[in-house]
Amino acid sequence: MAPPLLLLQDITLTLGGKPLLDGVGFSVSAGERVCLVGRNGSGKSTLLRIAAGEILPDSGTRFLQPGCSLRYLPQEPDFSGFDTAMDYVVDGLTDPSQEWRASVMLDALGMSPTDTPATLSGGEARRCALARVLAAEPDVLLLDEPTNHLDMPTIEWLEKELLSLRTAMVIISHDRRLLETLSRSVVWLDRGTTRRLDQGFERFETWREEVLEQEERDAHKLDRQIAREEDWMRYGVTGRRKRNVRRVAELAALRTTRKDSVQPQGTVTLAAQTSGQSGKLVTVAENACKSWGERPIVSDLDLRVLRGDRMGIVGANGAGKTTLLRLLTGVDQPDSGKVTLGPSVAMVTLDQQRKALDSARTLSDTLTGGGGEMVQVGDEKRHVIGYMKDFLFRPEQARTPVGRLSGGERGRLMLACALARPSNLLVLDEPTNDLDLETLDLLQEMLASYDGTVLLVSHDRDFLDRVATSVLAATGDGVWTEYAGGYSDMLAQRGGVALDERVAAVVEHTPAIAVATKNSSSKIATRKLSYKDQLALDKLPKQIAELETTIKTFREKLANADLYARDPKAFAKFTDALDKAERELTTTEEQWLELEVKREAL
């Protein structure tokens, strides 16, 4: 086995009286690609800073091979003292004569050498910091959330660039697709200790469950042993004049072991408070256009978002994703055309900038609105401490100013605020930023079971694959194209063409289903709605109302707790009738919706 280029051994660090890192360590050899994973607040970024030599641990060893170059990408790079992006990138070079590499890397990342670091946006700052560490071609590369604030094309470029390097890497990221593609080993930082898996990230989650199950079995055995010793203490000792000092000491040691045994951290509890159902049509865009100066952001958009849709919106930074989201939700108005928000829409928004958070307010005041100790969660009131625990906040954090929370904690706080409010339309702008993998899993499960509609802007490919039922992608010049399925499905429909690859004619890469829809629409537009269709369209609303009344009646009958015991046959009859009526209602609503869409298209 090759000697390690970087070695951390028995690292300990205590913050606030409790050990954050307790004897942890890892190593990375030439060409190895290791991902460092763990819950928010477990100390991943702190451990990476120790590896980079930025902070010193309380105890332990950090060894870097002599002559080995190392570069570290922090989550928040420091640009102070640099007038231009070129100055910042060149300062990170091992050999200043290789300035040409700085120019090449800045150009590849879409940055100008004369850009002023102090005025860069979040995405631009991240690209500038990446240019600095990549241009240096170090022997060891430490990357802390390298995809944060990057758009999809840049993430795909970065993935290919990192794959091409022979550099040893340690990566912290919430981007599952990136970790699965790059990693060859996993270091799991969990409850102050580290474990290593010498396989890629795709094997990690199964392995982690196996480890936790073994811990549960070990804890159960220890509990049984303590119970036996306690039984001896109660009954065995009382029959003797002299205590067995050794056995009493062993029991005390067992209790200490059980008390100090590291228990798995809690889990976030995510549940959206649903409002009443919205109409079938949630938002409808008809020939909507929006421009900034001479630049089109949205051009002739025709789109229907239906109840229950989970639509992902993707595109490069600056393509207008947030602007499109504001149009579809009625916040902004189009320059021409029309966007109509459906009736009975109760909307909750989570914005990527987290502007709704006041850094001076405490966590408790943010959740309660400054109204005491109770949080309004849907129709019920909950004590703020209990609600905080659902999102992994400790009781002592109640009076912590929001400005002192980590990025992941602010992300969980935004989710806590948003999910407490009743809604049937969730608008999520980059919800995955700074969230750990476990919280992402729970967020995905919550969105999958959410009864309402979801509009989602995200650059997380795996998240889109797991959540989205369709993807709306920017294809240039303000044109937005809808694809069925998640991000991988979109790529398949585009013939494998990624968002950053330009084509001479967009039409050549338009999926067949979209072309068919376009051709069908042009044919429909040449004729009127048939008499049969118009008659059905007139009658269906009445049928829907009658079915809803019938369903309500059957539900009221079945709500009688004594019905089954008193008359099982009647109970079975009402159950079958209810099921039939619900299926008929679904069919009728779908028929009405198809005819209404057809009528509006005309």
Res 55: pLDDT: 93
Give the chain's domain count. 4
**CA pair distance 336, 228, nearest whole angstrom:** 78
User: Is there a single domain that holds both residue 299 and residue 377?
Assistant: yes
User: Is there a single domain that holds both residue 121 and residue 240?
Assistant: no
Res 264: pLDDT: 47
Q: In which residue ranges of the chain is pLDDT below 50?
A: 237-243, 258-259, 262-264, 501-527
User: Is there a single domain that holds both residue 127 and residue 32?
Assistant: yes
Res 267: pLDDT: 58
Res 6: pLDDT: 95
Do the domain assignments include residue 386? yes
CATH number for the domain harbouring residue 566: 1.10.287.380
**CA pair distance 379, 8, nearest whole angstrom:** 51
Q: Is 490 exposed, middle or buried (0-12, 13-18, 19+ CB in 10 A)?
A: buried
Res 438: pLDDT: 76
User: Is there a single domain that holds both residue 89 and residue 161?
Assistant: yes
Do the domain assignments include residue 521? no
User: Is there a single domain that holds both residue 128 and residue 200?
Assistant: yes
Q: Is 11 exposed, middle or buried (0-12, 13-18, 19+ CB in 10 A)?
A: buried
Do the domain assignments include residue 69? yes
Do the domain assignments include residue 241? yes
Helices (H), 295-436: 321-328, 363-368, 384-390, 407-419
Residue 38, CA distances (Å) to 268, 410, 595 in order: 14, 17, 51
Residue 343's CB: how many other CB atoms inside 10 A? Answer: 9
Domain boundaries, position 413: 281-509
Do the domain assignments include residue 270? no
User: Is there a single domain that holds both residue 243 and residue 201?
Assistant: no
Q: Please, are residues 432 and 463 in contact by the beta-carbon 8 Å criterion? A: yes
> Where a domain ends, among 166, 186, 206?
206
Do the domain assignments include residue 368? yes
**CA pair distance 50, 306, nearest whole angstrom:** 50
Do the domain assignments include residue 54? yes
User: Is there a single domain that holds both residue 318 and residue 422?
Assistant: yes
Among 186, 204, 202, 205, which residue's Cα sits nearest to residue 194?
A: 186
pTM higher than 0.75: no
Do the domain assignments include residue 524? no
User: Is there a single domain that holds both residue 21 and residue 152?
Assistant: yes
Res 521: pLDDT: 35
Res 554: pLDDT: 83
User: Is there a single domain that holds both residue 88 and residue 177?
Assistant: yes
User: Is there a single domain that holds both residue 160 and residue 303?
Assistant: no
Instruction: List, for residues 414-436, the tens digit of each pLDDT value.
Output: 888 877 888 889 898 888 877 77
> Where a domain ends, among 478, 509, 540?
509
User: Is there a single domain that holds both residue 182 and residue 230?
Assistant: no
User: Is there a single domain that holds both residue 235 and residue 144?
Assistant: no
CATH number for the domain harbouring residue 365: 3.40.50.300
**CA pair distance 580, 413, nearest whole angstrom:** 43
